[in-house]
Structure 1
């Protein structure tokens, strides 16, 4: 029945010739998962999927992606919390996924000897294999692209970067166009000359992807309150070891410190003290300029303390990091409790206004991340 209605709608369009601006407006309100089927209507409709403005409209709705030993889910909050089971579009058992990272338009599903770049809404995927896959210690740290604002999305030159758990000084990049791995001759740039002889430690595995570049939380000493951002520029293939300092560090390994993208061109930081359970949210005042970390100014966006609020790092041996999103003045978090069950928390005006356990997620300790349904094809 749906197919007949679609054909009638297309036929009506052919006869009546609605203004193109009206067609764009109508399609901009169609959910991404439903919009994909309209690519085949005509070349002009298909071209919308490569239009930067149209793509950005559909990046405004966030979701959480959770994967367990047996299933993978999307969780939307608009305004009700809806859990939907997804189907993997590549040959793999859900239990094979060891780590899940969101990288702009795509998800990185990390496994022992390979990683998959996946767009679940377009049902597209691509395998990334190491040139020496016999070594299980390699990891993909993120995806970026050569930053050229003059090119269209489908013309972006995407790259990935990887390192080794056993040796963080060994890094390689792969250009998606050639599938060739290239060893990086590291000449890191330090914002602070006094730190040039120190070894940088990354707090998280996957980098946060912003405008084609990757950012990690780094530190030189766990007792040092001045944590900083480490940046990798894919255009220059260079690290900036102290891109900027963070407004807060951690005093204990059970403190939570999580970096995320804010408003598409800025960064946000969540910190929770494991003793008081107080949560601070910081955001950068201006959009991030990759060439100058000295311009970064952090502002306190929200601070709240809620009685009996759980720890966002339930166990120092648990590889479960809080996912969160800032929606206007509302904070939405996804985190596991001490038993491994995932919960959604919604905070507004420093008050907890909603708390929901995700009963549909069947296995404990799911991997999870924030993701924006994307119309960008996997390169």
Structure 2
């Protein structure tokens, strides 16, 4: 019997990294090694189609990629209610999207097309969805309460969380979020926040889904900051933070990145290093409406240092800016996106499956042998409360 000639594993990885995300879902069943590879952060970060934005309007969902030119494509997602309303909130976690609608929310994987609807179990109708995280080791309890709540997609139940965020070393210092949109890393949520007593003093606050507690996670490289400046926390290389700051007066942009990987602890020892600075006369201010979410961005450092930003102009039209260290490389108006002030976020193609199923569908799903391998948690807050 002849031995089958095998390709080197490095070549297999390179070939698979060039395959679009949706076909990769079917390749999970080829072998155990391939299935493990598709969940590896290094593979995801090296995927040739990694960098992109998701832009959502009243009736459309668009994917915007840099490959190397700006490419816009419409995604076909069966999101209930999207044909007559724009989502109130849009956040991402590990390639999944959370769309906060007028009643409830939708979690979806835009690359596989999987969708899960979430029905709010609180009496109030106005909800603001703050972020998406996960914890596979705990089961939530169904509790309806006044201010903050978590929905566990694995069990379709609710859990109450604490109302206050306090610094462990200074228990009387309360924090407020600089931006309502949380950043998900290692299953936890993170926000840029400021002290109640001093709005210009900034830090990073985290929420641990496993313990249900908040923590003063770390300081920021720009300790003091004007509240009108753009300040956006994102994930860099899949395992650490990046921070964008744009001065609202000079329009100068500064980017910092965390030197080391972020672990699951609550350490304050995060070392930041300057990544790039951009001071270009014709670069616009990226925050045109204080009530509108701050700009979305990612850093493309595979070839050279490039900052790619999605933001809206004064008329609410979406633009993509590609910026080098010393010049504005390109600016592209997204003419396909006709509705003003669309929601947008960065999203990385992922094979993560949408976890859990509604209570009434559990037996049906079991019979159909659907496998859900991660229990995702939705964290939301009433609009009436800015943070608490």
TM-score bucket (shorter structure):
0.7 to 0.9
Q: Using the alignment, how far apart are the partners of 1:334 and 1:33 within structure 2?
A: 24
Distance 1:236 1:117, change over 3 A: same
The SS at the match of 2:173 is coil
Are 2:337 and 1:350 equivalent residues in the alignment? no
Q: Which structure is richer in relative contact order (CA contacts within 8 A, separation 6 or more)?
A: 2
The one of 92, 100, 104 equivalent to 1:102 is 92
Normalized per residue, the structure richer in helix is: 1
Distance 1:279 1:223, change over 3 A: farther
The Cα of 1:286 is off from its aligned counterpart by 1.1
Query: For each residue in 1:240-295, what CA deviation from the matched residue of structure 2 results, as whole angstroms up to 9, or x when unmatched?
Result: 0x211212256544311111011111111111111111111111111113324321
Q: Using the alignment, how far apart are the partners of 2:117 and 2:151 within structure 1?
A: 12
* Contact 2:55–2:63 (CA under 8 A) maintained in structure 1: yes
Distance 1:24 1:219, change over 3 A: closer
The one of 148, 152, 175 equivalent to 2:152 is 175
Please name the residue that 2:300 is paired with.
327
What does 1:195-274 correspond to in 2, within 5 Å? 196-221=171-196, 224-240=199-215, 242-248=216-222, 251-274=225-248
Please name the residue that 1:6 is paired with.
none
Q: Which 4+ runs in 1 deviate beyond 6 A?
A: 158-161
Distance 1:232 1:176, change over 3 A: same
The Cα of 1:62 is off from its aligned counterpart by 1.6
Are 2:313 and 1:337 equivalent residues in the alignment? yes
Q: Using the alignment, how far apart are the partners of 2:339 and 2:138 within structure 1?
A: 34
Please name the residue that 1:360 is paired with.
336
Distance 1:92 1:336, change over 3 A: same
Stretches of structure 1 lacking an aligned partner (at least 5 in a row)? 1-14, 147-155
* Contact 1:342–1:366 (CA under 8 A) maintained in structure 2: yes
The Cα of 1:58 is off from its aligned counterpart by 3.4
Q: Using the alignment, how far apart are the partners of 1:266 and 1:55 within structure 2?
A: 12
Are 2:289 and 1:312 equivalent residues in the alignment? no
Distance 1:344 1:221, change over 3 A: same
Q: Using the alignment, how far apart are the partners of 2:65 and 2:313 within structure 1?
A: 20
The Cα of 1:300 is off from its aligned counterpart by 1.5
The SS at the match of 2:99 is strand
Are 2:106 and 1:116 equivalent residues in the alignment? yes
Are 2:27 and 1:48 equivalent residues in the alignment? no
What does 1:109-148 correspond to in 2, within 5 Å? 109-132=99-122, 134-146=123-135
Distance 1:225 1:377, change over 3 A: same
The SS at the match of 2:222 is coil
Query: For each residue in 1:77-123, what CA deviation from the matched residue of structure 2 results, as whole angstroms up to 9, or x when unmatched?
Result: 01011000111233222524111111122111011221111101111
The SS at the match of 1:375 is coil
The Cα of 1:17 is off from its aligned counterpart by 5.6
Distance 1:58 1:16, change over 3 A: farther
Are 2:6 and 1:19 equivalent residues in the alignment? yes
Distance 1:225 1:253, change over 3 A: closer
Are 2:277 and 1:303 equivalent residues in the alignment? yes
The Cα of 1:59 is off from its aligned counterpart by 4.2
The Cα of 1:137 is off from its aligned counterpart by 2.9
| TM-score, normalised by the number of residues in structure 1 | 0.81
Q: Using the alignment, how far apart are the partners of 1:365 and 1:187 within structure 2?
A: 32
* Contact 1:225–1:248 (CA under 8 A) maintained in structure 2: no
Please name the residue that 1:83 is paired with.
72
The SS at the match of 1:356 is strand
